[in-house]
Structure 1
Amino acid sequence: MKTLTIAAIAAASTALCSVAALADGHATTTLRIQTHYAPETTSGKLLSELFDNIELMSNGEIQIEAFYSSSVVKSVETFDAAATGILDCDATGGGYQTGKNPAFQFVGDIMGGYETPAQQLSWLYYGGGREAAQELYNTYGMELIGWIVYGQESFASTRPIAGIEDLKDWKFRSPPGMETKIFEKLGASPIVMDFTEIFTALETGIIDGADASGLANNVGLGLYDIAKFANFPGFHSMPSDHLACNKAVWDAMPEHHKAIMLTAVSDTALKSALIFEKENAEAKAMLEEQGVTISAWSEEDLAEFRAAAQATWPEFATTPEAEALVASHVAYLTQLGIVKPE
């Protein structure tokens, strides 16, 4: 007889609470979902629209209670909170879970790899990525529902950030994981901190800059009220935000509820890529009018960054799961012509 862990008991209890039935026999699903995004940001608005669409398409059979700006637990704790039943779903990203297994880096943000959201989503849905990622998520009691990729991120900085030379001794907020290794190689001083702490850290001078999000999201966070330097187009990071749910909750959901969730996330992924093309361009024009200096890195500096990033992939792939994901990415990137065969 197997001994149930507290987490397993909590997950099973959550599944019973989250899936019920109306008097007429129709199943109902109630989901508590946390995101690190503020509701004012572009990504926060897209998630709000996603949740509304799920409720509408299900004719109210799926009800969502959304928590923004990591208001229940810290961003990095969202995944565990969903896995143990404090929440039902996590709308942050796999990159926050690299402390569990470095394989999460390669479903969260490979860095220095894909150039567009379409390429990255193509690996997930048609390059074998979803199957490999799902196995990883299931190991930790979670189900990957889908990705939302908004495109390349831009820095916010209180000092010039126009190329590799400007990275020397540049203290910046970094998410956990491989990014710290890459930027240390390039002379920067990454400081890992929660997404919700960025504004105050910039305001008080604890950091010189931040890797937070795309240009439009950074505007929504108010970062350029303090930081008067940015780079665009972005190049260093194209994270995959995810929607991942407690596996017991997911398994208990009716098949048509699952189909609605899967379809709605795919729709939001496309909308996100398209909207950010427009809103990042608008943000760039607005910021330049406000006196923010925006720099485009040279091809030489971009090549140096990509070389440093790709050299770090195998260094960070220290588990069988991570090694398998890196091999999958490299094979697909080679097929796309982004990585040159050796």
Structure 2
Amino acid sequence: MIRTTLVATTALGLGLAAASAQEFTLRIQNHQSPESLSGKNIAQWVDDVETMSGGRVDIEMFYSSAIVKSAETFDAAISGIVDGDFTNASYLTGKDPAFQFVSDVMGGYETPWQFYAWLYEGGGMELTQALYEEYGMYLLGWQIPGPESLNASVPLTGPEDLKDWKFRSPPGMETMIFETLGASPIVIDFTEVFTSLETGIIDGADVSNVSTNRSMGIYDLVKHTTYPGFHSMPADHFSINLNVWNGLPEDIQRIMEVAAQKNSFRTTLDYSVDIQNAVNELQGEVTFHDWSEEDRATFREGARQAWSEFATTEQAKALVDKHLEFMNEIGLVTTGAQ
């Protein structure tokens, strides 16, 4: 839904026509609130693009999924209802399970920087871009807040404590991973988490990172959490309708990509500080469980079994192989792990 306007001006007093310039208006939806750290950095991305383009680009950003439901944003961008989708590829696993492995390689990477490195240095962008282009979309980049933490009413000191642990899990691959490790994940709607914890239906919940969990009041109900997190690290994607993208001049494309990388890294930095501040403030109130390298490797091995089961298409298998290849390169899995 790109709109182009040709603007011509005349140099007063000289009678000379100035060079024409184009203006591009883009409508983009995200699922963040404008008050969140992610939402504030998205607003900064908008300002960066508009400023660096000298006003040639105008972006209408719609927060909190104001136009269509979050899970419908990608299709809305494909069909032209909006021009871009700044939500999460996990909504798209029904199209192809490959999207799981560009949104959250659960149990895989330990830091956002490793995940970014796979995308930009480990061959991930080429495979991921090909997947998006199959659906008429272009991937600008990611926004990774950081590792999430498991929250529990009982200690979670290592994989052995997962046995028979009843907790709220989102649907999909996560339930497969935790079942492999002996836990009892229960898919519960987000709105029912608090009641389920209060009544003892569950012993814990997978919600978000420490700072977000704290702001939501999770630690008013449970006093144990894993930190630093290791089981989940969602990457929200910045994606644009491919025809719209191809209709933009190269300098505008470059501006948008550079601004997206700035957004990505600043979001991760902002959350790392925010999460650490929350941890500092919760000391003495919440017990933090930092799993050993060996325990994380045990979890990763269980996760790898679920990856193989979940990767039922050629695109998904190719992405899993590329992740394992890079994880081997940086020492997260051993040679021959594939």
Q: 1:319 deviation in Å?
A: 0.7
Aligned with 2:319 (options 319, 322, 325): 325
- Consecutive unaligned residues of structure 2, counting only runs of 5 or more, are 9-19
Paired with 2:302 and 2:127, the residues of 1 have a C-alpha distance of: 25
Aligned with 2:276 (options 271, 281, 294): 281
Specify the alignment match of 2:140 in structure 1. 145
Residue 111 of structure 2 is aligned to residue 116 of structure 1:
yes
Q: 1:167 deviation in Å?
A: 5.9
Q: Secondary structure at the match of 1:80?
A: helix
Deviations 1:278-304 (A, max 9, x none): 211101112336x34433334554333
Q: What TM-score do the two structures reach when normalised by structure 1?
A: 0.84
Aligned residues between the structures: 320
Aligned with 1:203 (options 177, 194, 210): 194
Specify the alignment match of 1:178 in structure 2. 173
Q: 1:192 deviation in Å?
A: 5.0
Worse-matched range after superposition: 299-308 or 201-210: 201-210
Select the structure of larger CA radius of gyration: 2
Q: Secondary structure at the match of 1:59?
A: coil
Paired with 2:23 and 2:220, the residues of 1 have a C-alpha distance of: 44
Worse-matched range after superposition: 309-318 or 157-166: 157-166
Closer/same/farther in 2, CA of residues 125 and 300 from structure 1, 3 Å limit: closer
Q: Secondary structure at the match of 1:213?
A: coil
Aligned 8 A contact 2:7 2:22 in 1: no
Paired with 1:192 and 1:98, the residues of 2 have a C-alpha distance of: 17
Specify the alignment match of 1:23 in structure 2. 7
Closer/same/farther in 2, CA of residues 288 and 264 from structure 1, 3 Å limit: same
Specify the alignment match of 2:89 in structure 1. 94
Residue 232 of structure 2 is aligned to residue 245 of structure 1:
no
Closer/same/farther in 2, CA of residues 151 and 31 from structure 1, 3 Å limit: same
Worse-matched range after superposition: 89-98 or 207-216: 207-216
Structure 2 matches for 1:124-139, cutoff 5 A?
Answer: 124-139=119-134
Specify the alignment match of 1:335 in structure 2. 329
Aligned letter for 1:56? T
Closer/same/farther in 2, CA of residues 210 and 37 from structure 1, 3 Å limit: farther
Q: Secondary structure at the match of 2:266?
A: helix
Closer/same/farther in 2, CA of residues 329 and 84 from structure 1, 3 Å limit: same
Q: 1:215 deviation in Å?
A: 2.1
Closer/same/farther in 2, CA of residues 68 and 277 from structure 1, 3 Å limit: same
Specify the alignment match of 2:308 in structure 1. 314
Specify the alignment match of 1:9 in structure 2. none
Percent of counterpart pairs with the same letter?
Answer: 47
Aligned with 2:99 (options 95, 104, 112): 104
Q: Secondary structure at the match of 2:236?
A: strand
- Consecutive unaligned residues of structure 1, counting only runs of 5 or more, are 1-13
Paired with 2:155 and 2:326, the residues of 1 have a C-alpha distance of: 35
Aligned 8 A contact 2:29 2:67 in 1: yes
Q: 1:333 deviation in Å?
A: 1.3
Instruction: Give me the CA root mean square deviation.
Output: 2.4
Residue 28 of structure 2 is aligned to residue 33 of structure 1:
yes
Aligned with 1:259 (options 249, 254, 272): 254
